[in-house]
Structure 1
Amino acid sequence: MFRVSNNLVGLLNLLTFVLSIPILAGGIWLSHQANSECERWLEKPVIVLGVFLMVVSLAGLVGACCKVSWLLWFYLLVMFLLILLLTVFTIFAFAVTNKGAGEVVSNRGYKEYRLGDYSNWLQKRVNNTKNWNKIKSCLHDSKVCSDFANKYVNDSVTKFYTENLSALQSGCCKPSNDCNFAYLTPTNWNETSTSTVDSNPDCKTWDNDPAVLCFSCESCKAGLLDNIKSNWKKVAVLNVIFLVILIIVYSVGCCAFRNNRKDNAYWNRQ
Protein backbone atom coordinates (compact mmCIF):
# COMPACT_ATOMS: atom_id res chain seq x y z
CA MET A 1 0.00 0.00 0.00
CA PHE A 2 1.44 3.39 -1.01
CA ARG A 3 2.59 5.47 1.95
CA VAL A 4 0.69 8.61 3.05
CA SER A 5 3.88 10.72 3.24
CA ASN A 6 4.74 9.86 -0.39
CA ASN A 7 1.25 10.87 -1.51
CA LEU A 8 1.47 14.13 0.42
CA VAL A 9 4.92 15.04 -0.96
CA GLY A 10 3.73 14.18 -4.48
CA LEU A 11 0.63 16.37 -4.11
CA LEU A 12 2.55 19.33 -2.69
CA ASN A 13 5.12 19.17 -5.48
CA LEU A 14 2.43 18.83 -8.14
CA LEU A 15 0.93 22.08 -6.87
CA THR A 16 4.38 23.71 -6.83
CA PHE A 17 5.05 22.56 -10.39
CA VAL A 18 1.75 24.04 -11.58
CA LEU A 19 2.63 27.29 -9.76
CA SER A 20 6.06 27.44 -11.45
CA ILE A 21 4.52 27.54 -14.94
CA PRO A 22 2.90 31.02 -14.69
CA ILE A 23 5.96 32.34 -12.81
CA LEU A 24 8.29 31.18 -15.60
CA ALA A 25 5.87 32.44 -18.26
CA GLY A 26 5.71 35.81 -16.50
CA GLY A 27 9.51 36.09 -16.48
CA ILE A 28 9.72 35.28 -20.19
CA TRP A 29 6.96 37.80 -20.92
CA LEU A 30 8.86 40.47 -18.96
CA SER A 31 12.03 39.75 -20.94
CA HIS A 32 10.16 40.61 -24.16
CA GLN A 33 8.36 43.64 -22.71
CA ALA A 34 11.22 45.25 -20.76
CA ASN A 35 11.74 48.90 -21.70
CA SER A 36 13.63 50.12 -18.63
CA GLU A 37 16.56 49.17 -16.41
CA CYS A 38 14.12 48.26 -13.62
CA GLU A 39 12.14 45.83 -15.75
CA ARG A 40 15.29 44.23 -17.16
CA TRP A 41 16.56 43.71 -13.62
CA LEU A 42 13.27 42.11 -12.54
CA GLU A 43 12.97 39.54 -15.33
CA LYS A 44 16.07 37.51 -14.37
CA PRO A 45 15.11 36.61 -10.77
CA VAL A 46 11.56 35.77 -11.91
CA ILE A 47 12.85 33.37 -14.59
CA VAL A 48 15.38 31.82 -12.18
CA LEU A 49 12.65 31.35 -9.55
CA GLY A 50 10.32 29.72 -12.10
CA VAL A 51 13.01 27.29 -13.33
CA PHE A 52 14.12 26.52 -9.77
CA LEU A 53 10.58 25.69 -8.61
CA MET A 54 9.94 23.58 -11.71
CA VAL A 55 13.12 21.48 -11.35
CA VAL A 56 12.82 20.96 -7.59
CA SER A 57 9.11 20.14 -7.70
CA LEU A 58 9.69 17.62 -10.51
CA ALA A 59 12.44 15.97 -8.46
CA GLY A 60 10.16 15.74 -5.44
CA LEU A 61 7.17 14.56 -7.47
CA VAL A 62 9.00 11.80 -9.35
CA GLY A 63 11.06 10.84 -6.30
CA ALA A 64 8.03 10.43 -4.05
CA CYS A 65 5.51 8.92 -6.49
CA CYS A 66 7.89 6.70 -8.49
CA LYS A 67 10.02 5.78 -5.47
CA VAL A 68 13.22 7.10 -7.04
CA SER A 69 15.34 7.53 -3.93
CA TRP A 70 18.19 9.56 -5.45
CA LEU A 71 15.76 12.17 -6.80
CA LEU A 72 14.07 12.40 -3.43
CA TRP A 73 17.49 12.73 -1.80
CA PHE A 74 18.30 15.61 -4.19
CA TYR A 75 14.95 17.21 -3.35
CA LEU A 76 15.62 16.97 0.39
CA LEU A 77 19.12 18.39 -0.02
CA VAL A 78 17.77 21.44 -1.91
CA MET A 79 15.02 21.86 0.69
CA PHE A 80 17.57 21.76 3.50
CA LEU A 81 19.75 24.38 1.78
CA LEU A 82 16.67 26.54 1.14
CA ILE A 83 15.68 26.35 4.81
CA LEU A 84 19.23 27.28 5.82
CA LEU A 85 19.35 30.17 3.33
CA LEU A 86 15.98 31.56 4.42
CA THR A 87 16.98 31.33 8.08
CA VAL A 88 20.18 33.28 7.45
CA PHE A 89 18.37 35.87 5.30
CA THR A 90 15.61 36.35 7.89
CA ILE A 91 18.12 36.94 10.69
CA PHE A 92 20.09 39.28 8.42
CA ALA A 93 16.95 41.20 7.40
CA PHE A 94 15.97 41.83 11.02
CA ALA A 95 19.57 42.86 11.84
CA VAL A 96 19.98 45.46 9.07
CA THR A 97 16.51 46.98 9.49
CA ASN A 98 16.66 47.57 13.25
CA LYS A 99 18.01 51.12 12.74
CA GLY A 100 16.56 54.17 11.06
CA ALA A 101 13.27 56.04 11.02
CA GLY A 102 11.84 59.22 9.65
CA GLU A 103 12.39 62.38 11.69
CA VAL A 104 9.24 64.21 12.77
CA VAL A 105 9.40 67.91 11.85
CA SER A 106 7.46 70.59 13.70
CA ASN A 107 4.37 71.86 11.85
CA ARG A 108 4.84 69.36 9.02
CA GLY A 109 2.61 66.42 8.09
CA TYR A 110 5.56 64.57 6.56
CA LYS A 111 8.87 63.33 7.96
CA GLU A 112 12.44 64.11 6.96
CA TYR A 113 14.94 61.31 6.30
CA ARG A 114 18.67 61.22 7.18
CA LEU A 115 20.99 58.69 5.56
CA GLY A 116 23.18 58.39 8.65
CA ASP A 117 20.26 57.00 10.68
CA TYR A 118 20.28 53.68 8.80
CA SER A 119 22.57 50.65 9.07
CA ASN A 120 26.08 50.93 7.65
CA TRP A 121 25.49 47.95 5.35
CA LEU A 122 22.48 49.59 3.71
CA GLN A 123 24.29 52.92 3.46
CA LYS A 124 27.18 51.30 1.58
CA ARG A 125 24.78 49.80 -0.96
CA VAL A 126 23.18 53.14 -1.88
CA ASN A 127 26.44 55.11 -1.68
CA ASN A 128 27.88 52.92 -4.43
CA THR A 129 27.71 55.11 -7.55
CA LYS A 130 26.94 52.25 -9.92
CA ASN A 131 24.12 50.98 -7.70
CA TRP A 132 22.63 54.43 -7.19
CA ASN A 133 22.64 55.30 -10.89
CA LYS A 134 20.51 52.21 -11.56
CA ILE A 135 18.21 53.08 -8.67
CA LYS A 136 17.81 56.67 -9.93
CA SER A 137 16.84 55.28 -13.32
CA CYS A 138 14.20 53.12 -11.67
CA LEU A 139 12.85 56.01 -9.60
CA HIS A 140 12.59 58.18 -12.69
CA ASP A 141 10.92 55.41 -14.72
CA SER A 142 8.42 54.78 -11.92
CA LYS A 143 7.31 58.45 -12.14
CA VAL A 144 7.29 58.72 -8.36
CA CYS A 145 7.96 62.47 -8.48
CA SER A 146 5.88 63.35 -11.56
CA ASP A 147 2.87 61.63 -9.97
CA PHE A 148 3.67 63.44 -6.72
CA ALA A 149 3.75 66.80 -8.52
CA ASN A 150 0.44 66.14 -10.26
CA LYS A 151 -1.25 65.00 -7.06
CA TYR A 152 -0.37 68.07 -5.00
CA VAL A 153 -0.10 70.69 -7.79
CA ASN A 154 -3.04 72.73 -6.46
CA ASP A 155 -1.83 72.78 -2.86
CA SER A 156 -1.05 76.09 -1.21
CA VAL A 157 2.13 76.18 0.86
CA THR A 158 0.09 75.78 4.07
CA LYS A 159 -1.80 72.81 2.67
CA PHE A 160 1.35 71.18 1.28
CA TYR A 161 3.08 71.29 4.64
CA THR A 162 0.25 69.24 6.16
CA GLU A 163 0.41 66.45 3.56
CA ASN A 164 1.40 62.95 4.72
CA LEU A 165 4.09 62.21 2.14
CA SER A 166 5.74 58.84 1.58
CA ALA A 167 9.45 58.40 2.36
CA LEU A 168 10.36 58.54 -1.35
CA GLN A 169 8.21 61.61 -2.00
CA SER A 170 9.67 63.47 0.97
CA GLY A 171 13.26 62.44 0.30
CA CYS A 172 13.46 62.60 -3.50
CA CYS A 173 10.81 64.99 -4.79
CA LYS A 174 11.25 68.08 -2.61
CA PRO A 175 14.21 69.85 -0.96
CA SER A 176 15.07 69.25 2.67
CA ASN A 177 13.24 71.31 5.26
CA ASP A 178 16.70 72.51 6.42
CA CYS A 179 17.13 74.52 3.20
CA ASN A 180 14.25 76.89 4.00
CA PHE A 181 13.44 77.30 0.29
CA ALA A 182 10.32 79.16 -0.84
CA TYR A 183 7.50 76.90 -2.05
CA LEU A 184 6.07 77.51 -5.52
CA THR A 185 4.78 74.04 -6.49
CA PRO A 186 5.53 70.60 -4.99
CA THR A 187 8.62 70.20 -7.24
CA ASN A 188 9.48 73.86 -7.76
CA TRP A 189 11.23 75.74 -4.94
CA ASN A 190 13.22 78.99 -4.94
CA GLU A 191 16.21 80.00 -2.88
CA THR A 192 15.56 83.20 -0.89
CA SER A 193 17.52 85.52 1.35
CA THR A 194 16.52 83.39 4.34
CA SER A 195 17.59 80.11 2.74
CA THR A 196 20.31 78.16 4.54
CA VAL A 197 22.01 76.32 1.71
CA ASP A 198 25.11 75.45 3.72
CA SER A 199 23.17 73.80 6.54
CA ASN A 200 22.65 70.60 4.55
CA PRO A 201 24.62 69.38 1.48
CA ASP A 202 21.32 68.31 -0.12
CA CYS A 203 20.38 71.99 -0.47
CA LYS A 204 23.10 72.46 -3.10
CA THR A 205 22.13 69.21 -4.81
CA TRP A 206 18.48 70.19 -5.28
CA ASP A 207 17.41 71.30 -8.78
CA ASN A 208 13.96 72.26 -10.05
CA ASP A 209 14.62 70.28 -13.24
CA PRO A 210 12.07 67.37 -13.14
CA ALA A 211 14.82 64.99 -14.26
CA VAL A 212 17.09 66.02 -11.38
CA LEU A 213 15.10 67.24 -8.33
CA CYS A 214 16.64 65.55 -5.28
CA PHE A 215 17.39 62.17 -6.88
CA SER A 216 21.08 62.59 -5.97
CA CYS A 217 20.38 63.78 -2.42
CA GLU A 218 21.23 61.83 0.71
CA SER A 219 17.60 62.33 1.76
CA CYS A 220 16.48 60.41 -1.35
CA LYS A 221 18.81 57.54 -0.48
CA ALA A 222 17.46 57.63 3.08
CA GLY A 223 13.86 57.63 1.81
CA LEU A 224 14.61 54.59 -0.30
CA LEU A 225 16.22 52.82 2.67
CA ASP A 226 13.19 53.58 4.82
CA ASN A 227 11.01 52.02 2.12
CA ILE A 228 13.32 49.00 1.91
CA LYS A 229 13.38 48.68 5.69
CA SER A 230 9.59 48.56 5.85
CA ASN A 231 9.35 46.01 3.02
CA TRP A 232 12.15 43.82 4.37
CA LYS A 233 10.50 43.62 7.77
CA LYS A 234 7.29 42.42 6.14
CA VAL A 235 9.25 39.90 4.06
CA ALA A 236 11.10 38.69 7.17
CA VAL A 237 7.81 38.02 8.97
CA LEU A 238 6.49 36.13 5.94
CA ASN A 239 9.78 34.20 5.81
CA VAL A 240 9.23 32.97 9.37
CA ILE A 241 5.82 31.59 8.36
CA PHE A 242 7.27 30.13 5.15
CA LEU A 243 10.10 28.51 7.14
CA VAL A 244 7.63 26.73 9.40
CA ILE A 245 5.82 25.38 6.31
CA LEU A 246 9.12 24.34 4.69
CA ILE A 247 10.25 22.49 7.83
CA ILE A 248 6.95 20.58 7.93
CA VAL A 249 7.26 19.68 4.21
CA TYR A 250 10.90 18.71 4.73
CA SER A 251 9.91 16.41 7.62
CA VAL A 252 7.25 14.75 5.47
CA GLY A 253 9.82 14.40 2.68
CA CYS A 254 12.20 12.66 5.07
CA CYS A 255 9.45 10.18 5.91
CA ALA A 256 8.85 9.56 2.20
CA PHE A 257 12.60 9.03 1.66
CA ARG A 258 12.70 6.53 4.51
CA ASN A 259 9.69 4.74 3.00
CA ASN A 260 11.45 4.54 -0.37
CA ARG A 261 14.52 2.99 1.19
CA LYS A 262 12.42 0.44 3.10
CA ASP A 263 10.43 -0.47 0.00
CA ASN A 264 13.56 -0.75 -2.16
CA ALA A 265 15.23 -2.93 0.46
CA TYR A 266 12.13 -5.16 0.61
CA TRP A 267 12.01 -5.67 -3.17
CA ASN A 268 15.75 -6.32 -3.31
CA ARG A 269 15.31 -9.20 -0.87
CA GLN A 270 12.62 -10.83 -3.02
Structure 2
Amino acid sequence: MKILVTGAYGQLGNEINELKVNYPDWNFIFTDVDSLDITDESAVEKSFVQNNFDYVINCAAYTAVDKAETDGETAAKVNTLAPELMGRYSAQFNTKLIQVSTDYVFAGDSYLPYSEDHPVNPQGTYGKTKLEGEIRCIHENPQAIIIRTSWLYSSFGNNFVKTMLRLAKERGELGVVFDQVGTPTYAADLAASILKIIENSVKDSSNFVPGIYHYSNEGVASWYDFAKAIFEISGVTCKVNPVLSDQFPTPAKRPHFSVLNKSKIRNTFGIEIPYWKESLKICLDRLEK
Protein backbone atom coordinates (compact mmCIF):
# COMPACT_ATOMS: atom_id res chain seq x y z
CA MET A 1 0.00 0.00 0.00
CA LYS A 2 1.68 3.17 -1.22
CA ILE A 3 0.03 6.55 -0.60
CA LEU A 4 1.21 9.89 -1.96
CA VAL A 5 0.27 12.88 0.21
CA THR A 6 0.93 16.25 -1.45
CA GLY A 7 0.96 19.53 0.46
CA ALA A 8 2.73 17.83 3.37
CA TYR A 9 3.61 21.12 5.08
CA GLY A 10 0.00 22.30 5.21
CA GLN A 11 -2.52 21.76 8.00
CA LEU A 12 -4.17 18.68 6.48
CA GLY A 13 -0.89 17.12 5.31
CA ASN A 14 0.59 17.50 8.79
CA GLU A 15 -2.49 15.93 10.41
CA ILE A 16 -2.32 12.92 8.05
CA ASN A 17 1.36 12.60 8.98
CA GLU A 18 0.34 12.50 12.67
CA LEU A 19 -2.21 9.75 12.02
CA LYS A 20 0.04 7.51 9.90
CA VAL A 21 1.13 5.62 13.07
CA ASN A 22 -2.33 4.01 13.06
CA TYR A 23 -1.53 2.44 9.67
CA PRO A 24 1.88 0.77 10.11
CA ASP A 25 1.41 -1.43 7.00
CA TRP A 26 0.92 1.57 4.71
CA ASN A 27 3.81 3.33 3.02
CA PHE A 28 3.12 7.08 3.09
CA ILE A 29 5.14 9.36 0.82
CA PHE A 30 4.80 12.99 1.91
CA THR A 31 5.80 15.68 -0.57
CA ASP A 32 5.66 19.44 -0.82
CA VAL A 33 6.91 21.87 -3.46
CA ASP A 34 10.56 21.28 -2.46
CA SER A 35 10.35 17.53 -3.17
CA LEU A 36 7.65 17.36 -5.88
CA ASP A 37 6.34 20.28 -7.90
CA ILE A 38 2.84 19.07 -8.72
CA THR A 39 2.44 21.86 -11.29
CA ASP A 40 5.30 20.33 -13.33
CA GLU A 41 3.83 17.64 -15.58
CA SER A 42 7.10 15.80 -16.23
CA ALA A 43 7.86 15.71 -12.47
CA VAL A 44 4.38 14.36 -11.72
CA GLU A 45 4.62 11.70 -14.44
CA LYS A 46 8.07 10.63 -13.24
CA SER A 47 6.82 10.31 -9.66
CA PHE A 48 3.92 8.07 -10.75
CA VAL A 49 6.21 5.95 -12.94
CA GLN A 50 8.76 5.43 -10.16
CA ASN A 51 6.35 4.80 -7.29
CA ASN A 52 3.22 3.16 -8.70
CA PHE A 53 1.01 4.72 -5.99
CA ASP A 54 -2.14 2.99 -4.82
CA TYR A 55 -3.68 6.22 -3.54
CA VAL A 56 -3.06 9.95 -3.87
CA ILE A 57 -4.38 12.53 -1.39
CA ASN A 58 -3.90 15.98 -2.93
CA CYS A 59 -3.91 18.38 0.03
CA ALA A 60 -1.83 21.00 -1.78
CA ALA A 61 -3.57 24.31 -2.40
CA TYR A 62 -2.95 28.00 -2.86
CA THR A 63 -5.04 29.28 0.05
CA ALA A 64 -3.99 32.95 0.30
CA VAL A 65 -7.51 34.11 -0.63
CA ASP A 66 -6.76 37.84 -0.82
CA LYS A 67 -3.35 37.45 -2.45
CA ALA A 68 -4.95 35.30 -5.17
CA GLU A 69 -6.76 38.40 -6.45
CA THR A 70 -3.42 39.84 -7.63
CA ASP A 71 -1.54 36.55 -8.10
CA GLY A 72 -4.08 34.59 -10.11
CA GLU A 73 -1.40 32.88 -12.19
CA THR A 74 0.17 31.11 -9.20
CA ALA A 75 -3.24 30.30 -7.71
CA ALA A 76 -4.31 28.73 -11.03
CA LYS A 77 -1.16 26.61 -11.26
CA VAL A 78 -1.61 25.11 -7.79
CA ASN A 79 -5.43 25.01 -7.60
CA THR A 80 -6.30 24.19 -11.22
CA LEU A 81 -3.34 22.72 -13.11
CA ALA A 82 -2.13 20.46 -10.27
CA PRO A 83 -5.54 18.73 -9.76
CA GLU A 84 -5.74 18.27 -13.55
CA LEU A 85 -2.32 16.55 -13.57
CA MET A 86 -3.20 14.46 -10.51
CA GLY A 87 -6.39 13.40 -12.28
CA ARG A 88 -4.55 12.57 -15.52
CA TYR A 89 -1.81 10.42 -14.00
CA SER A 90 -3.95 8.78 -11.32
CA ALA A 91 -6.27 7.61 -14.13
CA GLN A 92 -3.35 6.49 -16.27
CA PHE A 93 -1.76 4.49 -13.45
CA ASN A 94 -5.04 3.19 -11.97
CA THR A 95 -4.40 5.11 -8.73
CA LYS A 96 -7.28 6.10 -6.48
CA LEU A 97 -7.37 9.89 -6.05
CA ILE A 98 -8.80 12.06 -3.26
CA GLN A 99 -8.74 15.77 -4.13
CA VAL A 100 -9.46 18.38 -1.45
CA SER A 101 -11.55 21.44 -2.40
CA THR A 102 -13.40 24.30 -0.73
CA ASP A 103 -16.70 25.94 0.21
CA TYR A 104 -15.55 28.98 -1.83
CA VAL A 105 -16.93 27.31 -4.98
CA PHE A 106 -20.33 28.62 -3.81
CA ALA A 107 -21.58 32.22 -3.88
CA GLY A 108 -22.27 32.19 -0.14
CA ASP A 109 -25.78 33.61 -0.52
CA SER A 110 -27.80 30.53 0.45
CA TYR A 111 -29.69 30.09 3.72
CA LEU A 112 -29.78 26.27 3.61
CA PRO A 113 -26.67 24.06 3.99
CA TYR A 114 -25.03 23.50 0.60
CA SER A 115 -25.47 20.04 -0.88
CA GLU A 116 -22.98 18.72 -3.43
CA ASP A 117 -25.30 19.39 -6.36
CA HIS A 118 -26.12 22.99 -5.43
CA PRO A 119 -25.23 25.39 -8.29
CA VAL A 120 -21.65 26.66 -7.98
CA ASN A 121 -20.82 30.34 -8.36
CA PRO A 122 -17.42 31.31 -6.93
CA GLN A 123 -17.01 35.03 -6.23
CA GLY A 124 -13.23 35.40 -6.23
CA THR A 125 -10.07 34.11 -7.88
CA TYR A 126 -9.39 31.52 -5.17
CA GLY A 127 -12.85 29.95 -5.50
CA LYS A 128 -12.74 30.11 -9.30
CA THR A 129 -9.34 28.36 -9.49
CA LYS A 130 -10.48 25.66 -7.03
CA LEU A 131 -13.70 25.03 -8.97
CA GLU A 132 -11.81 24.80 -12.27
CA GLY A 133 -9.46 22.34 -10.52
CA GLU A 134 -12.45 20.17 -9.57
CA ILE A 135 -13.79 20.24 -13.13
CA ARG A 136 -10.47 19.34 -14.74
CA CYS A 137 -9.70 16.68 -12.13
CA ILE A 138 -13.02 14.89 -12.76
CA HIS A 139 -12.62 15.29 -16.53
CA GLU A 140 -9.22 13.54 -16.36
CA ASN A 141 -10.30 10.98 -13.77
CA PRO A 142 -14.07 10.43 -13.35
CA GLN A 143 -13.24 7.89 -10.61
CA ALA A 144 -11.78 10.55 -8.28
CA ILE A 145 -13.25 11.59 -4.94
CA ILE A 146 -13.42 15.34 -4.30
CA ILE A 147 -13.97 16.56 -0.74
CA ARG A 148 -14.97 20.18 -0.19
CA THR A 149 -14.26 21.56 3.26
CA SER A 150 -14.47 24.89 5.10
CA TRP A 151 -12.84 27.02 7.82
CA LEU A 152 -9.92 24.64 8.35
CA TYR A 153 -7.80 25.00 11.50
CA SER A 154 -5.32 22.82 13.41
CA SER A 155 -2.30 22.97 15.69
CA PHE A 156 -0.17 23.35 12.54
CA GLY A 157 0.46 26.33 10.29
CA ASN A 158 -1.39 29.64 10.30
CA ASN A 159 -5.11 29.68 10.99
CA PHE A 160 -7.90 31.59 12.73
CA VAL A 161 -7.46 29.82 16.09
CA LYS A 162 -3.77 30.68 16.34
CA THR A 163 -4.36 34.24 15.11
CA MET A 164 -7.04 34.85 17.75
CA LEU A 165 -4.84 33.50 20.55
CA ARG A 166 -1.94 35.68 19.38
CA LEU A 167 -4.07 38.84 19.08
CA ALA A 168 -5.63 38.23 22.50
CA LYS A 169 -2.15 38.44 24.05
CA GLU A 170 -1.50 41.74 22.27
CA ARG A 171 -4.90 43.40 22.84
CA GLY A 172 -7.63 43.35 25.43
CA GLU A 173 -10.39 43.79 22.87
CA LEU A 174 -11.07 42.48 19.34
CA GLY A 175 -13.67 43.07 16.64
CA VAL A 176 -14.73 39.89 14.81
CA VAL A 177 -17.30 39.61 12.01
CA PHE A 178 -20.64 38.07 12.93
CA ASP A 179 -22.34 38.18 9.51
CA GLN A 180 -20.29 35.36 7.96
CA VAL A 181 -21.63 31.97 8.99
CA GLY A 182 -20.15 28.52 8.43
CA THR A 183 -18.57 25.67 10.34
CA PRO A 184 -15.04 25.49 11.74
CA THR A 185 -13.34 22.26 10.65
CA TYR A 186 -10.57 20.60 12.65
CA ALA A 187 -8.07 19.33 10.08
CA ALA A 188 -7.38 16.25 12.24
CA ASP A 189 -11.03 15.18 11.84
CA LEU A 190 -10.89 15.60 8.07
CA ALA A 191 -7.59 13.68 7.95
CA ALA A 192 -9.11 10.81 9.97
CA SER A 193 -12.13 10.71 7.64
CA ILE A 194 -9.97 10.59 4.50
CA LEU A 195 -7.92 7.73 5.97
CA LYS A 196 -11.12 5.90 6.92
CA ILE A 197 -12.35 6.15 3.30
CA ILE A 198 -9.04 4.63 2.17
CA GLU A 199 -9.13 1.95 4.89
CA ASN A 200 -12.65 0.89 3.85
CA SER A 201 -11.66 0.71 0.19
CA VAL A 202 -8.56 -1.37 0.98
CA LYS A 203 -10.92 -3.97 2.49
CA ASP A 204 -13.27 -3.75 -0.49
CA SER A 205 -12.51 -1.61 -3.55
CA SER A 206 -16.24 -1.07 -4.18
CA ASN A 207 -16.24 1.10 -1.02
CA PHE A 208 -14.30 3.76 -2.95
CA VAL A 209 -17.30 5.62 -4.37
CA PRO A 210 -16.27 8.44 -6.75
CA GLY A 211 -17.94 11.83 -6.69
CA ILE A 212 -18.05 15.14 -4.85
CA TYR A 213 -18.53 15.18 -1.08
CA HIS A 214 -18.75 17.80 1.65
CA TYR A 215 -16.95 17.59 4.99
CA SER A 216 -16.83 20.02 7.88
CA ASN A 217 -17.49 19.54 11.56
CA GLU A 218 -21.13 19.56 12.70
CA GLY A 219 -22.93 22.69 13.84
CA VAL A 220 -22.98 26.29 12.72
CA ALA A 221 -21.09 29.37 13.89
CA SER A 222 -20.13 32.87 12.86
CA TRP A 223 -16.49 33.96 13.09
CA TYR A 224 -17.59 35.92 16.17
CA ASP A 225 -18.98 32.73 17.78
CA PHE A 226 -15.79 30.90 16.85
CA ALA A 227 -13.59 33.56 18.49
CA LYS A 228 -15.77 33.60 21.63
CA ALA A 229 -15.49 29.80 21.92
CA ILE A 230 -11.69 29.88 21.47
CA PHE A 231 -11.31 32.33 24.37
CA GLU A 232 -13.87 30.63 26.63
CA ILE A 233 -12.35 27.15 26.20
CA SER A 234 -8.75 28.34 26.56
CA GLY A 235 -9.56 30.62 29.51
CA VAL A 236 -8.26 33.72 27.71
CA THR A 237 -9.62 37.08 28.84
CA CYS A 238 -10.31 39.16 25.76
CA LYS A 239 -13.45 41.12 24.92
CA VAL A 240 -14.90 40.21 21.51
CA ASN A 241 -17.09 42.73 19.73
CA PRO A 242 -19.37 41.65 16.86
CA VAL A 243 -18.76 43.70 13.72
CA LEU A 244 -20.09 43.68 10.15
CA SER A 245 -17.96 42.46 7.23
CA ASP A 246 -17.98 45.89 5.60
CA GLN A 247 -15.98 47.19 8.57
CA PHE A 248 -13.18 44.87 7.44
CA PRO A 249 -12.96 45.32 3.65
CA THR A 250 -10.77 42.68 1.95
CA PRO A 251 -9.59 42.27 -1.68
CA ALA A 252 -11.53 38.99 -1.96
CA LYS A 253 -15.23 38.71 -1.09
CA ARG A 254 -15.94 36.21 1.71
CA PRO A 255 -19.02 33.95 1.56
CA HIS A 256 -21.66 35.19 4.01
CA PHE A 257 -23.00 31.64 4.33
CA SER A 258 -20.92 28.52 3.79
CA VAL A 259 -22.54 25.79 5.86
CA LEU A 260 -22.07 22.43 4.14
CA ASN A 261 -24.55 19.53 4.10
CA LYS A 262 -22.55 16.43 5.14
CA SER A 263 -25.24 13.76 4.78
CA LYS A 264 -23.71 12.30 1.59
CA ILE A 265 -20.25 11.61 3.05
CA ARG A 266 -21.83 10.31 6.29
CA ASN A 267 -24.18 7.92 4.51
CA THR A 268 -21.75 6.74 1.79
CA PHE A 269 -18.72 6.06 3.97
CA GLY A 270 -20.24 5.63 7.45
CA ILE A 271 -18.26 8.56 8.82
CA GLU A 272 -19.07 10.02 12.23
CA ILE A 273 -18.55 13.78 12.30
CA PRO A 274 -17.80 15.53 15.61
CA TYR A 275 -19.45 18.76 16.75
CA TRP A 276 -17.17 21.74 16.10
CA LYS A 277 -16.81 22.83 19.74
CA GLU A 278 -15.76 19.34 20.86
CA SER A 279 -13.02 19.28 18.22
CA LEU A 280 -11.96 22.82 19.10
CA LYS A 281 -11.39 21.68 22.71
CA ILE A 282 -9.09 18.89 21.47
CA CYS A 283 -7.10 21.28 19.28
CA LEU A 284 -6.72 23.89 22.02
CA ASP A 285 -5.60 21.18 24.42
CA ARG A 286 -2.93 20.13 21.90
CA LEU A 287 -1.79 23.72 21.43
CA GLU A 288 -1.54 24.19 25.21
CA LYS A 289 0.67 21.13 25.50
Same topology, TM > 0.5? no
Larger helix proportion of the pair: 1
Bigger Rg, structure 1 or 2: 1
Larger strand proportion of the pair: 2
